[in-house]
Each structure stands twice: as C-alpha cells, then as structure tokens.
Amino acid sequence: MSKAIRIGAGSAWWGDRIEPAALNAERGDLDYLCFETMAEATVSAAQVRKRRDPGFPGYDTYLDDRMRAVLPGCLRRSTKIITNQGWINPEGAAQRIVHWLRHFGASGVKVAAISGGLITDRALELTSTILENGKPTSTLADSLVSAEVYLGAEPIVDALKQGAHIVVSGRVADPSIFMAPMMYEFGWDALDHRHLGAGNGIGHLMECGAQVTGGYFADPGFKEVPNPWDLAFPIAEAEPDGSVVLTKVAGSGGAVNLMTVKEQMLYEVHDPANYITPDVVVDFTTAKLELVGPDRVRITNIGGKPRTPTLKVSIGCIEGFIGEDMFFYAGPGALRRAQLAKRILEERFKIVGLQAEEVRIDLLGLNAIHGPMSPKDQPEPYEIAVRVAARTKTREEAIKVGREVDGMAVSGVGMTGKRVPHQDRTREIIGVWSSLVPREKITPTLSFYES
Amino acid sequence: MKILLQHAAHARSGDKGNTSNISVIAYAPELYPLLKQQLTAERFKAHYAGVVNGNVERYEVDNIHALNFVAHDALGGGVSRSLCLDNYGKSLSARVLAFELEVPDALRSHLRGI
C-alpha cells in the first residue's frame, strides 16, 4: 500500500500571488506542486493577442516569474510540477522551463508538454449545439477565434509514467491538474469512478488556491482570518483510499477550517451531487468533514459516478467592444450633481448617435454593484463616482463613451472631479460559449524535452 | 426574533458564463432547518429581483448544512459581456445576507455578530 502524498497549490489563476507558491516549494515538503493559471477566456484572449503580436510566446506571461520562484525549492526536494501554463503553446512553455532548469544547474530533468486540446479548425464539425442557448454551433462561424477541449488527468498521468518530472499543458480541467498525481501514485484506473470522484473532489478544493485557506472569506466580526496579508496556498495530504487532510505551511497567515472548506466545496458548483469533470462525475453530498487539528481539515467519502461520454469544449468568439470611464462628486449635493451628470450623458449619447447594444450609467457608492437590488431609502453618500459603460459592435462606437466623459470636464456639472485619461478606455469582448464533443474524437499528444 | 441572514449563515458566489451559484452555509447545524424552511428558491429569486432574470434552482446539501442556489441569467449576459463593474458577480453572495430570517429565541446562542 503506497503512503500519502503531499500536493501543494502554486496558483489559482493567472494573476495570483507568487510568494505563496515559493513558500509551498520551499517549506511545503511537497511531492507535487500544481499550477492553475487559466480563466474561461484565457485561450481565446491569447489567440487574439498572438494574431496581433506574433512575438507573444502564447504561454503564461508569468511563467518566468513562477518558475524562478519555485524551481530551486522543487529541485532540492525533488518535487514534481504539474501546470497548465502552456495556454496555446505548451511546447514553447516546456522549452522555456528547460531553459530555467539549466539556469539553476539541473541537468537530465524531463519536461513533458501536452497538446491536442486546441480544436479551433475542427470545432464546427466536431460540435453541434451551444449549451447556453441551444442554437447550432455553426451560428458562431463568423466570430469564432478559438476552441479548446477541457482535457482530463489521463494525459498528465501518461506523461508521469513516461518519466516526466514537470508536465505543462494547455487547457486541462482545473481539478484534474491536482488529481493526476493521485491517479499516478496510487495506480487508480481511469474508469475507477469511486477513487477518481474523491480525487477530483479534492482537486476542486485545491484548484482555487487561497480560497480554501482563508482568501475570499474574511468578514470582520463574523469570519475572522489571522494575518490575511500573508495567506498561504493549500496543501493536500492525499491518501490512497481517496481521503485527504487539507492544510497549509505552519506559521503562515490564513485559516483552513470547516467553513473555508465548505465554501470552497460549493464554489462554482451547480448540482453538488453531479459535478461533471472530464474524468468522473463528483458527488460532494456524501463527503464528511472533520477538523482534526489547527488548520487541518480531514475530508473523507467524497463520491464519484462514471464519467460522461463527452468532453466540454469552450468556444471563444469576438463579439464587440466595451467602452468605459468614470468621474466623481463629493460633499453636500454630490447625489444631485451626479444625477444631473447622468442626464447630460444620456442626452449626449443621443446627440452623438451612440450605437450601443446596452448602456449602463451607475452611481458608484449608491447602486453600481448590486444595481436594482440596492435599497431605495439609503442616506446620501458623501462621495459618488459616475461610472458609464456601453457595449458596442465597433471600437469607434465604444470610444464615444470616453470622449463624452472627457466633455464632462469643462462642459459638464459644477465641482466635477475627473481624471485625465492615460489609458485605452475600450476593450474587446471575447464571448465564451460551451459545447460537447465525443471523447473518442480527441487525442492528446505528448512531447518531451530534457534539461 | 427577526434577524438578517448574515447572523445565521455565510455565503460565497461563483460564476459560470451567465449563471451565478450562491451557497448559503449555516453557522450551526441547529440553524440549517430554518434556512431550508424559509429561504426557498422562490424567495431567493424575489430577493435578487432586477439582477437574477432566469430560473433559480435550490440544492440541499445536508452533509455540510448548506443550500446551493443556481441563478440563471444573473450576470448581465455573461462575465465577458456584462457591463457591471463586478462582472463575475463575486459580491452577489452578500445580497442574500440581507434576507430576513425568523429565528426562535432558543437558538440565539448559535447566531454570530449579535
């Protein structure tokens, strides 16, 4: 019987902090360090950027920073790394990692790149229906920029079996990145849904990093978190039977307790009895949670059901633009001046013929975040930002938002605070749609590099 | 006694496309039946009127004393299309904490922040 393995989180998204990854590498005593760096639109955004800037390598823009921070610790402890930092260029990322391995004097370390999930050219023949609206995927033909399959843990396990010490992929389902080491080390079969269910359940708890160690959690007076400026990323002590203790490096900030684990268990989950992943359908409703020590939560009995015959495909489309800006009021009467400013903007948009699918003018401090749910009987705030945004088909129309806000400087309301624009106030919208593809149509490929 | 839900439960929201899921987790097992009885999917939707435009499904997660609400058409068309500053709806879970809950006085000791 193999013993428990220690799996640490290195990131939960592209912009995540890097010091907690280094902390896990240095002091986590890890067998595996796993990185999740992709959001829903990451692949499409990378494709759009690559089109405009051929010099963009196509992998995580923080790859260098992350590898520099964790490789020394990982090499010393022989910690293996699983990461989806490859985005649209896993081979390029693998070669870059080899560069850093050599930089740190490590030779003979095997790095595997996983490809085969990008199906942009074949997306419309392989898929039929858009899950969100029931329409045929062919309706996306004109706007499609990228399509990728959510791969599971199997190709990562194959790479480990072939001797990889570091595995870098493009899109892999987030929990699978963390489950692959369990599958490999404990010899779980790809159809062993009981163990894989537990494994991807643990993976789900790990994939958002600090969200299970006290991040996205603190609420003073209700839910306290010690040293929230120094949160660690989680460590899973995974056991061959699919149970786990979640913890973090001793002495770090944050908290691992029943409340943080419960919140993360349901995060981005719809039916908790049927959480669909590429490897297995996870059932969280059978899980048992127990606080077994300071910052130590033991989770047993997460369930699993057989995997579905399909894999999820994410289809990114160019859909238009958003123009956005804001300006400010303060002091007695801030609200009445903000309301007049809103009226002026509404009239100005008519005068300049703004062609928009939707326009939104918020009074930040009053109703910008919760919109129509905000109470009607609030006291007047001392300060208000007027924030305006419009969604348009063309960049030319989106630019009008910022240009009309510019007009509010000298042609607007009394006592208006306004920034001089230093940045582009428009951005491109990459809409993401989902579909399904039969799993047998997708064949991941591995390529190996060595330092 | 009538209290705001924030004294009886904590909450977290997550996004998938144009759908938001909001979990509501009882601070104590004794408080969970009150959530089940009073915080129905229908009342939840009414509490989010103007933002949640689609159906709301409620899942009971008895093993962790939690309800999971799945609110469709809740993110302004989807994270990338939304004109809301909080386009991921990360702050949407805070709204449910303002739901009014009737709690027997005998359970007072289980409440937080009171």
Kindly report, residue by residue over A185-204, the tens digit of the pLDDT.
999 999 999 999 999 999 99
Asked if the model's pLDDT at residue A344 lies above 60, the reply is: yes
Report the greatest alpha carbon distance in chain A. 76
A244: CB partners within 8 A, 6+ apart: A198, A202, A205, A236, A237, A238, A298, A299, A300
Asked if the model's pLDDT at residue A391 lies above 90, the reply is: yes
Question: Quick check: B23 and A387 CB within 8 A?
Answer: no
pLDDT given at position A24? 98
Residue of chain A minimizing CA distance to B71? A270
Spatial separation of the C-alpha atoms in residues B80 and A430, rounded to whole Å: 6
Question: Quick check: A387 and B6 CB within 8 A?
Answer: no
pLDDT in tens, A213-234: 999 999 999 999 999 999 999 9
pLDDT given at position A41? 86
Beta strands in A3-53 (DSSP E): 5-11, 32-35
Q: What percent of chain A has pLDDT above 90?
A: 95
Query: Given the structure tokens 């997708």, which residue do they identify?
Result: A442
Q: Of the candidates A272, A287, A322, which has its C-beta nearest B83's C-beta?
A: A322
pLDDT in tens, A356-380: 999 999 999 999 999 999 998 889 9
Tokens for A404, please give them. Answer: 């009309």
Q: Is B18 on the interface with A (CB under 8 A)?
A: yes
| Mean pLDDT for chain B overall | 97
The nearest CA of chain B is from the CA of A131 a distance in Å of 11
Strand pairing of A110-115 and A80-83?
unpaired
Tokens for B40, please give them. Answer: 């129905």
Q: Is B114 on the interface with A (CB under 8 A)?
A: no
Asked if the model's pLDDT at residue A422 lies above 90, the reply is: no
SS3 A231: strand
CB-based burial label for A155 (10 Å; 0-12, 13-18, 19+): buried
ipTM for the assembly: 0.98
Question: Quick check: B83 and A389 CB within 8 A?
Answer: yes
> Of A66, A78, A48, A30, which is closest to residue A321 (Cα–Cα)?
A48
Instruction: Spell out which residues of chain A touch residue B80, defining contact as CB-CB under 8 Å.
Output: 40-41, 319, 429-432
The CA-atom distances, in angstroms, between A157 and each of A9, A66, A79, A83, A198 are 18, 23, 16, 13, 17
The nearest CA of chain A is from the CA of B107 a distance in Å of 17
Tokens for B35, please give them. Answer: 């959530």
Question: Which of A262, A271, A326 should we substitute to test contact with B (largest number of B Cβ atoms within 10 Å)?
Answer: A262
Q: How confident is the model at residue A311 (pLDDT cuts 50, 70, 90)?
A: very high
pLDDT given at position A423? 84
Rounded to a whole number of angstroms, the distance between the first and last alpha carbons of chain B is 12
Q: Is A284 on the interface with B (CB under 8 A)?
A: yes
The CA-atom distances, in angstroms, between A112 and each of A90, A319, B114 are 9, 35, 55
Question: Quick check: B48 and A322 CB within 8 A?
Answer: no
The nearest CA of chain A is from the CA of B100 a distance in Å of 14
pLDDT in tens, A46-100: 998 998 999 999 999 999 999 999 999 999 999 999 999 999 999 999 999 999 9
Question: Quick check: A216 and B90 CB within 8 A?
Answer: yes
Spatial separation of the C-alpha atoms in residues A225 and A229, rounded to whole Å: 10
Query: Phi first, then psi: what are they for A76, rounded to 5°?
Result: -65, -40
| Mean pLDDT for chain A overall | 97
Question: Quick check: A360 and B83 CB within 8 A?
Answer: yes
pLDDT given at position A421? 84
A117: CB partners within 8 A, 6+ apart: A148, A149, A150, A151, A169, A170, A171, A172, A442, A444
B43: CB partners within 8 A, 6+ apart: B99
Question: Quick check: A390 and B85 CB within 8 A?
Answer: no
Beta bridge partners of A23: none
What's the rounded mean pLDDT across residues A296-322? Answer: 97
pLDDT given at position A64? 98
pLDDT given at position A2? 60
Centre a 10 Å sphere on the Cβ of residue A62 and count the other Cβ atoms it contains. Answer: 18
Beta bridge partners of A389: A324, A360
A376: CB partners within 8 A, 6+ apart: none
pLDDT in tens, A133-172: 999 999 999 999 999 999 999 999 999 999 999 999 999 9
> Of A136, A285, A341, A358, which is closest to residue B84 (Cα–Cα)?
A358
Question: Quick check: B16 and A373 CB within 8 A?
Answer: no
Q: Is A19 on the interface with B (CB under 8 A)?
A: no
Sheet holding A303-305, edge to edge: A275-276, A281-283, A303-305
Count of CB pairs separated by less than 8 Å, A with B: 125
A138: CB partners within 8 A, 6+ apart: A124
Q: How confident is the model at residue A1 (pLDDT cuts 50, 70, 90)?
A: very low
The nearest CA of chain A is from the CA of B24 a distance in Å of 8
Q: What percent of chain A has pLDDT above 70?
A: 100
Q: Is B95 on the interface with A (CB under 8 A)?
A: yes
Question: Quick check: A371 and B113 CB within 8 A?
Answer: no
Secondary structure of A369-422 in the HEC alphabet? CCHHHCCCCCCCCCEEEEEEEEEECCHHHHHHHHHHHHHHHHHCCCCCECCCCC
The nearest CA of chain A is from the CA of B35 a distance in Å of 16
Instruction: Spell out which residues of chain A touch residue B19, defining contact as CB-CB under 8 Å.
Output: 270
Instruction: Spell out which residues of chain A touch residue B99, defining contact as CB-CB under 8 Å.
Output: none
pLDDT in tens, B50-86: 999 999 999 999 999 999 999 999 999 998 999 999 9
pTM over 0.90: yes
Spatial separation of the C-alpha atoms in residues A271 and A284, rounded to whole Å: 9
> Of A78, A70, A62, A64, which is closest to residue A22 (Cα–Cα)?
A70
CB pairs under 8 A, 24+ apart, for B33-39? B34/B8, B34/B101, B34/B102, B34/B103, B34/B107, B35/B5, B35/B8, B35/B9, B35/B67, B35/B101, B36/B60, B36/B67, B38/B101, B38/B102, B39/B5, B39/B67, B39/B96, B39/B99, B39/B101
The nearest CA of chain A is from the CA of B102 a distance in Å of 19
Q: Are A111 and A98 in contact (CB under 8 A)?
A: yes
Q: Is B49 on the interface with A (CB under 8 A)?
A: yes
Spatial separation of the C-alpha atoms in residues A434 and A97, rounded to whole Å: 31
Query: DSSP string spanning chain B?
Result: -EEEGGGTEEEEEEEETTEEEEEEEESSGGGHHHHHHH--HHHHHHHTTTT--S-EEEEEEGGGTEEEEEESS-STTSTTT--SSSTT-TTHHHHHTT-EEE--GGGGGG-S--
The CA-atom distances, in angstroms, between A370 and each of A228, B3, B68, B95, B103 are 26, 21, 20, 8, 27
